[in-house]
Chain A
Amino acid sequence: MAAQTRRDFFKTSALLGTAISGISNKQIKAQSKNILSENRMGVLVDTTACIGCRKCEWACKTAHNLPTLPVEEYDDRTVFKKMRRPDDKALTVVNEYQNSTKFPINVKVQCMHCDQPACVSACIVGAFTKKENSSVIWDTNKCIGCRYCMVACPFQIPAFEYEEALKPDIKKCDFCFDLTKKGKIPACVEICPVEAITYGRREDLIKAAREKIKNYPTRYVNHIYGEYEVGGTSWMYISSKDFLQLAFPKLGRDPAPGVSEAIQHGIFAYFVPPIALYALLGGVMWLNKNRKKTESETEI
C-alpha cells in the first residue's frame, strides 16, 4: 500500500509539474515586455498659453459621441470655481488656478498615456493595451468591471459608469486612437485656438520644451512634468508655477508597476517557487505518514 501511494504520488506530481511549466512558458511569452517605439507620439501642454476656453472639452465629447452642451455654453467660466476631474461623462476637463499675476493658470487634465502604464500592468484580463503610437486604450470586450485599473492609476484617471446596471464601461481619454491610428491628430489638439497643446513625436516635444524653458527662464519653471514621472508619460506639461500647486500629484521616477511586478515575478519565477513548495510539502507529508506507520507497526 505504501509503495502504491508513493508511486502514485510521484507520478501525479510529475504530471502536475509538466502541466504547470507548460502553462508558464506560454504565459512568459504572452507578456513580453511592452516595447516602446522610438517614434511614439506625445502631447506637450503649455499651460502658460492655455486660455481656458474649454473648446477641447467640447471637441473631445463630440469626437467620442458623448452628450454635450452646445459649444457656446463652454464660454461659461463659472465652472472653474470648483476643481473638476475627468469622469465617465467628460474624458478631459480644464481647471483654473489663481496666480500672482493677473492671468490665472488653466490646466487641461486627461489620461497621461504613461510609458509604463499601471493600468495595463494591473488589469486582471489585460483589457488595457499600450499601442505603438503611445495610446493606452481599453477593450470593452475583455473588461469585467473590477475597477483595479482605477486603484492602480497614479493619476486617478479611469472612471467607471456607476449608474449603469447592465454593462458599465471604464471611460478615459483614448488619445483619439481612432483618429491617430489613421495619422490624424487628436480632436482636442485640432481645435485648440492658441496652440497650447502640441501633438508630435515625444522626443521632439521634449526638445522643444527644453528649448522654450531655456529661452524664457522667467516664464517657465525648469521642469517638464511627465518627462520622467512614473517612468515617463506621453502627455507632458510645462508651466510658470510649481506643478504641486497646480494639483499635479507628486510622483517619483520609478514606473508605477515596478515594485508589484518585481514581487510577482519573484514569487512566480517560472513557477519554480510554488512547485518547490508543493514538492516540499509532499515530502514532509510522506515522511510523517511513514513515520506514523512504522510507529504503529512497532506498537503491534
Chain B
Amino acid sequence: MENFRSAPIEKKFFTPIVLLLIVLAINGMIFLLGRFLFGIGAVTNLDNQYPWGIWIGIDVAAGVALAAGGFTTAALGHIMYKEQYHAIIRPALLTAMLGYTFVAISVMIDLGRYYYIWHPLIMWNGTSVLFEVGMCVMIYLFVLYIEFLPIVTERFIGRVSFPGFLKKLNRPVDKLLRVLDRTLDKTMFIFIIAGVVLSCLHQSSLGTLMVIAGPKIHPLWQTPILPLLFLLSAISVGLPMVIFESLITSRSFGLKPEINILSNLGNMVGPLLFIYLAFKIGDMVIRKTFVYLTELNSASVLFTLEIMIGIIIPLRMFLSRQVVNSPLGLFTAAFFVIVGVLMNRINYFLVAYTPPYQFQTYFPSFGEISVTVGFIAIEILLFRKMVMIFPIVSLPETGSQKTKYFIRGKSQ
C-alpha cells in the first residue's frame, strides 16, 4: 500500500472555471433574494397543483442521495475497518458535509415560513414521514460537523495565530482545540456509527415521502418498497460519487489519481447496482406495472431511460476489468450511475407526480433553475477552498502517518 498523507493543496484559487462558477453563484443569489422579498410564487412556477418543484426534487432529494458517499465510505473505512480506504474518507466527508448543509439551506428557502424551521424540534408528529426525514437530516448534519472537527483541530493545533489584539486568544484556543481533539478521539466511534444509522434511516424515508400521495404518483414508481429502493440506490451511488469527485479533484489540481483505491471501489459498485436492479425489476414484475411500459408517454420513456442509463449500462461497465482499471472508464461509469440516480429522484418527485386537477404541467422557472445551479456552484467553490485550507486530499508521501478517524497519532 502506498503511503499517503492528507494535506492542504497549494494551488491558485482562481481559474476561468472558478470565475464562471462565481457568475452562476451570483445569478442564483439574485433570484434567491427575489424569493425572500416577493414570495415563493414570484420566483418559482409552483402552484396549488404542484406544491413541490426542483428545489425539493433536485436540491433536497437528489442532494441527499448524492451525498451518500459520506456514509458509505464511513461504513467501509471505519466500520468494516478497511484501512486502505482511509484516503478517500475525508474528501467524501467534506462532500457530505457541504452537500447536507445545502440540503438544509434548500429546505429552508423552500419553506413558506423559513424562520420557523426549528418548529419540528419541539412540535412532533410521529406519523409524518417528512418529520422523520427532517429530524434525521438535522441530526446527521450535526454529526457530520463533529466528524469534520478532527480535521480542523489537525490543521490548527499549534498553529493558531490570530492577528493584533486577538493574540491573547491564541493560547486558550489552542488549548481548547487540544481538549476537543482528545475528547473526540475517544468518542468519535459513537458519531460514526450514528451517522451510518441516521443515513440509512433518512435515505430510505425519503422514498416513503411520496407514498402518502397515493394515486398522484405514477404506478411505475409508486410502490410500498420505495424506502428499500431509495436506500439501495443511495448505497450504490455513494461510491461512484466518490470516484467521480476524486478523479475531478486530481484532474483539476493536477494530481495523480489514486487509481488503485478507485478501482477497488469500482469493483464493489457492480454487485450493489445488481441488487438495486433486481429489486427494481422484481417489484415491477410482482406489481405487474410493466404494462405501463407498453404505453408511449413521458413516464414510460423516462422510466426506461432511468434504468438503462442509471443501472444497466454502468452495471455492465463496472463488471469489465478494463473499464475499472482506467480512469476514463471509471469516470464514465460513475457518471452514468450519478445521472441515473439524479433522474430517478427527479422522476419520482416531479415527473411521476400528477395532481388530480391539472391545469398546466410544471416546468421549473428560470429563477428556480438559477437558484439550484447557483447552489451547486457555491458548493463546488467551497469544496475547492476547503481542500486548500484543510488537510483533506491525500497526497502520496514516503513518511508513514496513518490517518484514522482519530487523526492525530498517539506519538504527538
Contact = CB atoms under 8 A, between A and B. Distances in A.
Interface of A: 5, 8-9, 12-13, 16, 27-28, 30-31, 83, 85, 87-88, 118, 120-127, 142-148, 150-152, 154-156, 158-165, 167-168, 247, 249-251, 256-257, 259-261, 263-264, 267-268, 274, 277-278, 281-282, 284-285, 288-289, 291-292
Interface stretch (B15-23, B61-69, B76-84): B76-84
Contacts of A156: 48-49, 355-357
Given A123-B125, A126-B125, A274-B201, 6 more contacts: A16-B194, A27-B124, A30-B124, A87-B48, A144-B117, A251-B214
Given A124-B134, A147-B52, A292-B83, A152 B212 contact: yes
B219 to A, nearest CB: 13
B73 to A, nearest CB: 14
15 contacts: A83-B357, A85-B48, A122-B129, A126-B124, A144-B111, A145-B111, A151-B52, A151-B209, A151-B213, A168-B40, A247-B357, A264-B132, A267-B201, A268-B126, A291-B81
B81 A292 contact: yes
B356 A154 contact: yes
Interface string B103-129: 000010011111011011001111111
B112 A9 contact: no
Nearest to A256: B214
A249 to B, nearest CB: 4
A249 B190 contact: no
B352 to A, nearest CB: 12
6 shortest interchain CB distances as A-B pairs: A145-B112, A162-B41, A288-B81, A147-B51, A126-B125, A150-B51
A121, A152, A260, A261: most-surrounded residue (chain B CB, <10 A) = A260
A282 B193 CA distance: 7
B111 to A, nearest CB: 5
Contacts of B49: 156
A9 B189 CA distance: 8
B130 interface: yes
Contact of B356 (A12, A121, A155, A274): A155
B37 interface: yes
Contacts of A281: 75, 79, 193, 196-197
Contact of B128 (A85, A121, A167, A249): A121
A31 B126 contact: yes
Given A146-B111, A260-B208, A124 B48 contact: no
B127 A264 contact: yes
A288 to B, nearest CB: 4
B81 to A, nearest CB: 4
B356 A249 contact: yes
A151 B192 CA distance: 34
Contact of A125 (B107, B119, B190): B119
Interface string B208-232: 1111111110000000100100000
B227 A267 contact: yes
A125 B78 CA distance: 36
Given A8-B186, A156-B49, A263 B215 contact: no
A113 B119 CA distance: 25
Contacts of B40: 160, 162, 168
The size bracket of the interface on B is 35 or more
Interface string B160-201: 000000000000000000000000001101101110110011
A8 B187 contact: yes
B48 A256 contact: no
A124 B128 contact: yes
B200 A277 contact: yes
Interface of B: 36-42, 44, 46-49, 51-52, 75, 78-81, 83, 107, 110-114, 116-117, 119-120, 123-132, 134, 186-187, 189-190, 192-194, 196-197, 200-201, 204-205, 208-216, 224, 227, 353, 355-357
Contacts of A263: 208, 211, 224, 227
Contacts of A126: 123-125, 128
B190 A12 contact: yes
A143 B130 CA distance: 13
A126 B124 CA distance: 7
A278 B193 contact: yes
Contacts of A152: 212-213
A140 B255 CA distance: 55
Given A8-B187, A263-B224, A284-B79, A28 B128 contact: no
Nearest to B113: A145
Among A12, A87, A285, residue most surrounded by chain B Cβ atoms (within 10 Å): A285
Contacts of B129: 122, 260, 264
Contacts of B42: 163, 165
A160 B48 contact: yes
Contacts of B216: 151, 154
Contact of A285 (B51, B189, B356): B189
Contacts of B196: 281
A154 B204 contact: no
Residue among A12, A261, A264 with most chain B CB within 10 A: A264
A159 B48 CA distance: 6
B224 A259 contact: yes
B109 to A, nearest CB: 11
Contact of B212 (A257, A278, A282): A257
A94 to B, nearest CB: 15
Contacts of A165: 36-39, 42
A84 B353 CA distance: 21
Contacts of A160: 40, 48, 51, 112
A215 to B, nearest CB: 32
B212 A121 contact: yes
Contacts of B353: 151
B210 A151 contact: yes
Max chain B C-beta neighbours (<10 A), residue from A31, A162, A267: A162
Contact of B47 (A31, A162, A257): A162
Contacts of A148: 51, 128, 130, 209
A267 B123 contact: no
B110 A146 contact: yes
Contacts of A123: 125, 128
Nearest to B112: A145
